[in-house]
Structure 1
Amino acid sequence: MLTGFTAGLLLISISELGDKTFFIGAILAMRHPRRWVFLGVTAALFVMTLLSVLLGQVATFLPPHYVQWAAVALFLGFGLKLLYDASRMKDQGLAHEQAEALETVNRQEQHITQWSVSSVLTEAFLLTFVAEWGDRTQIATITLAAANHPVGITLGATLGHAICAAIAVVSGKFVAGRLSERWLTTAGGVLFLIFGLVAALEP
């Protein structure tokens, strides 16, 4: 369980920092009460984590060696892709992810004329959930859950998401200006490669 918790925490904390969902939380927190934005974002990420872990548990019905080598292939593939992407990036900030998040939020908010606690919670939840669906961290969480204790993965990934959401909501704009997309992508790629190697070496 501890292994799953640590893996989930590391994976999410590094991969989600500076991601599109990070900026969605940061932008919403500049416009609405932070506590409701944090609650809506965290709830969406928790539900996404639960779904991912459940999907990972479905994979446990397959022969273990198939699951193991599928995990190895996914982690190594993601790791190499991230390192390749990082090698082609200039050492710059996170303007691209921030611009995408801003466009998404503006597109959603143009249809809302009256704000309430429920509307802020709903917007934060839906925007985060949709942005996270199909993301590489969701697929990686499914993969981790297939090979590790589901409770450990759930707790670790949830804590990682909550930490990133808290940073985004409290000081997202300040932090983003000091992060490098290239270095974050490189760190994520290295982490995925480590997970792939660990999965390959498991008996």
Structure 2
Amino acid sequence: MESSLLAGFTKSLAMTVLSEIGDKTFFAAAILAMRHPRRLVLGGCLTALIVMTILSVLFGWAAPNLISRKWTHHITTVLFFGFGLWSLWEAFTGDGESEELAEVEAKLDADWKAGTAGSKGTSKDNEDLKKQQKIFLTQFFSPIFLKAFSITFFGEWGDKSQIATIGLAADMDPFGVVLGGIIGQALCTTAAVFGGKSLATQISEKMVSLSSGVLFLVFGFQSFLASSAAAAAEL
């Protein structure tokens, strides 16, 4: 069974990049960065994704201790095939429009308007308070940072990339999966924050779904062949 650090790193990196480009959290980071300081948005989004990646890998690493490694390998194989077919279905049935971008933008617009309306009457009262909030911890855990963190963290919870990361960590080197996942998340989040909405609108969702679907199917076939080879070796 292939479980080297390099294999875990490359699979996790490729899977993360193709899963996160054009994802809801990608669009959210791009839109938030247009309205707030980029460093706070990048910090909040990236911190949430790193925490999510580490938690997913820890769960996947512990899974073989709860379920036999043989069964975790089979479950991972099924997940890869399932996500591959799901992504291909999205690629061929989608209408080509950025529905996720419109959905995320509408939600953030509503939050933005509500926050702006609520702050008009209290701007003077908060002026002195804001002057006192210049210490490092207050700047780091600012409302913008926490907003970016919460939107990203809960947006990723239960996403197929998280489940796929758990499956990879259960079947491959956990450190390689963590490293590949974090680098992939950093690349996508940085592109979203500094590329802005213009980059998000130029992404072909169909091609991303098609590429990720093919990648998941390749991972599924590799996992299936590895389990078949292991079973043959036992005979």
Match of residue 145, structure 1, among 137, 144, 169: 169
1:175 aligns with 2:199: yes
Q: How is 1:13-162 mapped onto 2 (pairs within 5 angstroms)?
A: 13-61=17-65, 62-90=67-95, 92-93=96-97, 95-109=98-112, 110-111=114-115, 113=119, 117=139, 118-162=142-186
Runs of 4+, deviation exceeding 4 Å? 114-117
Aligned length: 201
Cα-to-partner distance string for 1:41-73 (whole Å, 9 max, x where unaligned): 000000000110111012111212111111111
User: Matched residues in 2 for 1:22 and 1:188: separation?
Assistant: 15
Q: Normalising to structure 2: TM-score of the pair? A: 0.81
CA contact (8 A) 2:30 2:200 kept: no
Q: CA deviation at 1:172?
A: 3.0
Measured against aligned partners, the alpha-carbon deviations of 1:122-178 in whole angstroms (never above 9, x if no partner) come to 000001001110000000000001001111111100110010000000013222222
Q: Distance in 2 between matches of 1:172 and 1:22?
A: 10
Which 10-residue stretch deviates more, 170-179 or 180-189? 170-179
- Say whether the 8 Å CA contact 2:34–2:196 is kept in structure 1: no
For 1:126 and 1:103, how far apart are their aligned partners in 2?
Answer: 17
In the alignment, structure 2 segments of 5+ residues that lack a partner are 124-129, 134-138, 231-235
| Aligned AA (1:151) | F
CA contact (8 A) 1:105 1:127 kept: no
TM-score by structure 1 length? 0.93
CA contact (8 A) 1:53 1:154 kept: yes
Contact 1:22/1:172, CA 8 A, preserved across alignment: no
RMSD over equivalenced CA pairs, Å: 1.7
Give the distance between the partners of 1:154 and 1:169, measured in 2 at CA: 22
Shift of 1:183: 1.0
Deviations along 1:2-38, one digit per CA (max 9) or x if unpaired, are 1111111100111100110001100100000111100
Q: Is the 8 A contact 2:72 2:170 kept in 1?
A: yes
Question: 2: distance between equivalents of 1:121 and 1:161?
Answer: 17
Quote the Cα distance in structure 2 between the aligned partners of 1:9 and 1:133.
19
Give the whole-Å Cα distance in 2 for the aligned partners of 1:71 and 1:104: 34
Q: Which of the residues 191, 202, 213 maps onto 1:189?
A: 213
CA contact (8 A) 2:8 2:168 kept: yes
